[in-house]
Amino acid sequence: MTAVGIEVNNLNFFWPSGEQVIKSCSLQVPRGEFWMLLGTNGSGKSTLLRLIAGLLTPQSGEIGISPPVGFVFQNPDHQLVMPTVGADVAFGLVEEKLPPTMVRARVEEALGAVNLLSLQRRPIYALSGGQKQRVAIAGAIARHCEVLLLDEPTALLDPDSQLDLVASVRRLVKSRGITALWVTHRLDELNYCDGAFLLDRGSLVDAGEAERLKKLLMKEGGEK
Ligand SMILES: Nc1ncnc2c1ncn2[C@@H]1O[C@H](COP(=O)(O)OP(=O)(O)O)[C@@H](O)[C@H]1O
Ligand SMILES: [Mg+2]
């Protein structure tokens, strides 16, 4: 894998009930690009993202991805575990057994990247939803992730912080050469990506330029 950041080949996934939620999915995200995964509720977006992250195991198919991989959940309260901003970002580095000075440097660098350096000692409970998502993203940056997977990170945000977050994630991944896949069902977020995939009832039915997909989906939405 050289020019590809995320590669999925002919992936199939069934729940224990026998329900097939991911059907022969193949996709490629070029290294360093910011792509989105679109689809209606229940189409399988979260399942596909979890498969790519290795949080679920497919029955068949292949996944190629360069570690370390960062994952940002829809609800940051399910992800942030430590009492303060700095401690939470540092917690993600425990496995790497770095010396304390290195941990401090990584945490500060990552918080600087998401514009939260001044909130390092702030308790998590005192943060807004958008700030919590930035802490989760800083956790991935501190681990020097090559790939960032985000599952509807703006779902719980108001419209202003929603567009703020997508714009800052775009800047961040572009400046660091991170490959990112962002799940959403909000068409206004499409303006920020390099390309998008469309998932429909477990099948990838379209992929390519965001502007074209946006027009297509706006037309479909209008006809309903
Ligand atoms: N843990 C689970 N066990 C069984 N079925 C599930 C589970 N999680 C999700 N599903 C089902 O899988 C399908 C796809 O869900 P999901 O990937 O969450 O879709 P999306 O993120 O696009 O809304 C849905 O029919 C959902 O009900
Ligand atoms: Mg989902």
Residue 138 corresponds to which tokens in the numbers above?
């800083």
- Across the chain, mean pLDDT equals 94
Residue ranges of domains in the chain: 1-67+148-224, 84-145
Which ligand 1 atom is nearest residue 40's CA? 22
Residue 200 to residue 206: CA distance in whole angstroms:
9
Residue 95 to residue 79: CA distance in whole angstroms:
17
> Is the whole-model pTM more than 0.75?
yes
pLDDT digits (tens, 9 = 90+) for 19-66: 999 999 999 999 999 999 999 999 999 999 999 999 999 999 999 999
Domain 1-67+148-224 fold? Rossmann fold (3.40.50)
What's residue 224's pLDDT?
46
pLDDT digits (tens, 9 = 90+) for 114-172: 999 999 999 999 999 999 999 999 999 999 999 999 999 999 889 989 999 999 999 99
Average pLDDT over residues 186-194: 94
Q: By CB neighbour count within 10 A (0-12 exposed, 13-18 middle, 19+ buried), where does 23 fall?
A: middle
The answer to whether 198 and 51 have CB atoms below 8 angstroms apart is: no
Q: Is 39 in the pocket of ligand 1 (CB under 6 A)?
A: yes
Q: How far is CA 49 from CA 41, 73, 116, 123, 151, in A?
A: 14, 10, 27, 29, 7
Query: Residue 172 C-alpha to ligand 1 middle, in angstroms?
Result: 30
Q: Is 168 in the pocket of ligand 1 (CB under 6 A)?
A: no
pLDDT digits (tens, 9 = 90+) for 139-152: 999 999 999 999 99
